[in-house]
Chain A
Amino acid sequence: MKSSSRILAPSAVFLAAAIVFSPLLAALLGTGLNPHALGRAFHTAARPLGGSAETAMVSALVALLLGVPFAILVERSRPGLRRVFWALGLLVLMIPPYIVAESWIVLLGPAGKISRMVATMLGFGPHSTDPLEIARFSVPALVYSWPAVGAVMGGCFFPIVALAVASAFRRTDLRVFESARIAQGKRGVCRIAAHILLPPAMGGALLVFAVTLTEFSVPQLMRVRTIGEAIYERIQEGDVATAAALGLPVLPVVIFAGGLGAFILARARSASLAGLEGEVPKFTGPRPDHVSDLAAAVMTFIATIPAFILPITSLIWLVVAAKLPPESNIGSHKVLRASGFQESLRGAWDLAHDDAVRTVLLAGFAATLAAIFAIMLVRMASRIRLGPLLGTVGAGLAVPAPIVGLGLIVLWNHEWSAAVYQGPALVLLAWFARYLPVTIFLVQGALARVPKELESAAALAGRGPWERFAAVVLPNAAPGIVAAWLATYVLSATEFSATLLVSPPGGPLLAPSVVNLMRRGQDPEIAACQFLLLAVIALPLVPISVATVFRSRTIKGIN
């Protein structure tokens, strides 16, 4: 078995690297690199690169500030409430960052529904009843700044930090805190907490940093110039090779950040949702009371404000206000123009229901395939100690989406590959190129939490490798694998920059369609489209929730 792994594992690692990096290489080499243009591009990319780094640092910081206290306080609440708080916290991951950014502008922008009201209440508004003066009042455009972009991205991805911290917290025997308290008081507790919780928190934060670095849609909406925009400019000029090359400086940063994060998390064996199902600590400390429940509830509220409460508030506001004047119904065209949210939703469904179904099936298939491949890859790689090498695949996160799309066109648009190019396979390849690193990372964490001793015991009992995997590894790693599947599904279903380029003609997918309708539409249409997109993203939660409920009942029945 081990000898076959020696051949299969490097091949699988090579295949993963090929899937992730081949579009970048094709874009770099297949479109002709011009050294002069490259030099010029790098000369002008310093500032955008700085913008990207600044937003990424703020996002990591925000994720830390929200994720660490959230994890600790929620973990200390009662089990029933804990599940509710975690469900709310994880819902944040379901909302695409570009919807969050739009809601920030609508609610907190210079003419924001909330910001103007608050500023007026605080006395900053005009001291006049002149309607013109009142209408002209606006608050400072803080929302159009790199810290705001960082706050949005950090708010969207804080659950990554929270999951890592919660996982470590659950695996900790709380007697160490008690010992530290007796020995050194509060200082001792803080020191031991920092020792246990800081590494996973930093690991998660580094991942958030890496994910934010090449984000384009949020900085674009919030008028912050980043490396993503510089890359788009080169593409518009038709210089795809230079555009691809501009992404290269980000690569080592992401490799370093992602690799370090993966290393820290792997060491803590806590890189996934697996932590929520972690081993029962030997000593659980004082029982949770109302105070700890209240603290957890307050923290959940605070943590979900940026990327859940604000977008949902904005959506509700749109739904409530979504009513067009009756005289506006012009012509007989079949679009979403309608008199309210429900009609718009019906119109959106009529126009894009094929796209929605296609997206759910394709994203579900992509997530399943990616999860299966990642499990096999991680198992084989860890057997011959190639696990750390998988961290390099994480650099794929630094490849901008349009480069992935254009690179795949260069790579696959040939006579011999027409079947791949003209079908949905190309979309799958684009999603794998973008998100396979995420799947691998999460699966790596999920498998790492399965104690090796259990598998060894099963081997001693005469179980073969497949039986060991099915009976020991899979049940223990299942929550983490489900998390990996879900993350891949959500990211794939909401991706539009690469999807737009590679989706086959006649087979549009939901995210590009909805994003455009949201930009172009009226309030009822925008609300309907946001609702439709969120509903599609949340759809897989139905079977997962059903399974979770039955699982709890089964466990209760056994007990």
Chain B
Amino acid sequence: MSPRTLHVAGVAALIVVTALILAGRHPRSLNLPQGQTTQDLKVVLYCATDREIAQDLIDQFEKDTGIQVAAKFDTEAAKAVGLIQEIRQEKSHPQCDVFWGGGAFFCTILANDGCLEAAPGDLVQAEGEAPHDPLGRWLGFAAAYRVLIVNTQVLTADSYPHSYRDLTDPRFKGRIGIANPLFGGMAAHVAALFAKLGENQARQWLEGLKSNDCAICAGMADVKNRVASGELWFGITSTIDAHVAVEGGKPVVIIFPDQEQGGIGCLNGYNTVGLVAGAPHPKEAERLLRFLLTTSTEKILAAGPGQNVGLLPDSVAQNVRPAWIPHDIREMTVNWTEAVQAHPVAIEAIREILLDQ
């Protein structure tokens, strides 16, 4: 390689790097108090809620308070080995201040592990009827439901499924799907079913899935994709994913399952937020918590891609919800402490029945 070649390569590389650095520069306008920089005020947020849902709120919080949010996001592809395990591993020397997301199930696990600490009493009280940990270690807000997503090109209205039990209906054999129940939100869902129905009934349901050749998809978004393509006829997903398909003009319809009289109801996979025990920035963490647990936050989340339903008392009074989500959803009542206790049994059953181990 001649020196000239090296020089040309070097100059070209330098141009690329300079262009990149220039492209990466973008001014941020924050309402900081005089003489204060973003380095002075900081809060570390581990956010299992999707970035496209959370980013607007983070920007708004930074603008309002001048506190810089160092956010770290999860990805569905990493299953539940992302932020939750990171908080567990960091327990002896916490780096995170606030954990947003994960749902009641994983937050209960974290709380039981001693990774979360109680929120200020007034915030717990302000939750009212909204779901929260009795000790205030996690607080629920902004609901998202587990629904059935149905392909309208392959099923007609009179044959739509209406219950989680329809996944075991032989009419749909080989054409139904759920996310891998060993991971993430579906693990929480199955654990909740074990707690709600009891081991015997829940195992029967799993056996029904097995005999109906239920597809074990890579995640709830994957279920949505496969139903939208017509590969599967219906499956369980979240309102967030299902709405993406509807908004994208896919031939699907969203059904809130088990709404009939006496039905177990639809699982509410609401957002949760908690303070990490021993967090390095407790004051800023509390401010972020107070910012998130407001009706104005729930309004932004309802209007955004999350399509969440307000759960805080004021939001309920103001009926904060996307227009397409019905008012009178019958929700599945879940004791998440019992669900966490049932989880090991559920895991064993899933391995034994669905995975033939």
Instruction: Check B55 for interface membership: any CB of A closer than 8 A.
Output: yes
Instruction: Check A506 for interface membership: any CB of B closer than 8 A.
Output: yes
Size band of the interface chain A makes with B: 35 or more
Name the one of A233, A410, A505 contacting B72, with C-beta atoms under 8 angstroms: A505
Instruction: Check B347 for interface membership: any CB of A closer than 8 A.
Output: yes
As a 0/1 sequence over residues 97 to 133 of chain A, the CB contacts with chain B under 8 angstroms (1 = contact) are: 0100000001001110000000000000000000110
For window 293-311 of B, CB contacts with A under 8 Å fall at: 300, 303-305
A136–B156 alpha-carbon span in the complex (Å): 12
A323–B120 alpha-carbon span in the complex (Å): 47
A225–B247 alpha-carbon span in the complex (Å): 33
A353–B82 alpha-carbon span in the complex (Å): 23
A132–B155 alpha-carbon span in the complex (Å): 8
Instruction: Check A38 for interface membership: any CB of B closer than 8 A.
Output: no
Residues of A within 8 A of B113 (CB): 238
A551/B303 in contact, CB under 8 A: no
A542–B16 alpha-carbon span in the complex (Å): 8
Given A508-B72, A516-B50, residue A236 in contact with residue B80 (CB < 8 A): yes
B216/A223 in contact, CB under 8 A: yes
Given A132-B154, A413-B93, residue A325 in contact with residue B230 (CB < 8 A): no
CB-based nearest B residue for A551: B5
Q: Nearest-CB distance from B160 to chain A (Å)?
A: 13
Name the one of B1, B20, B96 contacting A551, with C-beta atoms under 8 angstroms: B1
B77/A413 in contact, CB under 8 A: no
Instruction: Check B135 for interface membership: any CB of A closer than 8 A.
Output: no
A232–B183 alpha-carbon span in the complex (Å): 9
Residues of B within 8 A of A333 (CB): 52, 56, 300, 303-305
Instruction: Check A520 for interface membership: any CB of B closer than 8 A.
Output: yes
B182/A233 in contact, CB under 8 A: yes
Name the one of B8, B70, B215, B230 contacting A506, with C-beta atoms under 8 angstroms: B70
A255–B26 alpha-carbon span in the complex (Å): 47
Residues of A within 8 A of B16 (CB): 539-540, 542-543
A500–B85 alpha-carbon span in the complex (Å): 11
Name the one of A360, A409, A497 contacting B89, with C-beta atoms under 8 angstroms: A409
As a 0/1 sequence over residues 90 to 125 of chain B, the CB contacts with chain A under 8 angstroms (1 = contact) are: 101101100000000000010001000000000000
Residues of B within 8 A of A (CB): 1-2, 4-6, 8-9, 12-13, 15-17, 20-21, 23-24, 26, 44-46, 50-52, 55-56, 59, 68-82, 85-86, 88-90, 92-93, 95-96, 109, 113, 151, 153-154, 156, 180, 182-183, 187, 215-219, 221-222, 226, 229-231, 233, 240-241, 244, 247-249, 300, 303-305, 347, 351, 355-357
Can you identify 17 A-B contacts, CB atoms within 8 angstroms?
A138-B231, A223-B217, A233-B183, A235-B85, A236-B183, A333-B305, A336-B52, A337-B305, A402-B81, A413-B90, A504-B72, A505-B71, A505-B95, A516-B75, A520-B240, A520-B241, A542-B12
Residues of A within 8 A of B (CB): 31, 44, 47, 98, 106, 109-111, 131-132, 135-136, 138, 144, 217, 220-221, 223, 225, 229, 232-233, 235-238, 240, 324-325, 328, 330-337, 351, 353-354, 357-358, 360-361, 364, 402, 406, 409-410, 413-415, 421-422, 474-475, 478, 496-497, 500-501, 503-508, 512-513, 515-517, 519-523, 539-540, 542-544, 546-547, 550-551, 554
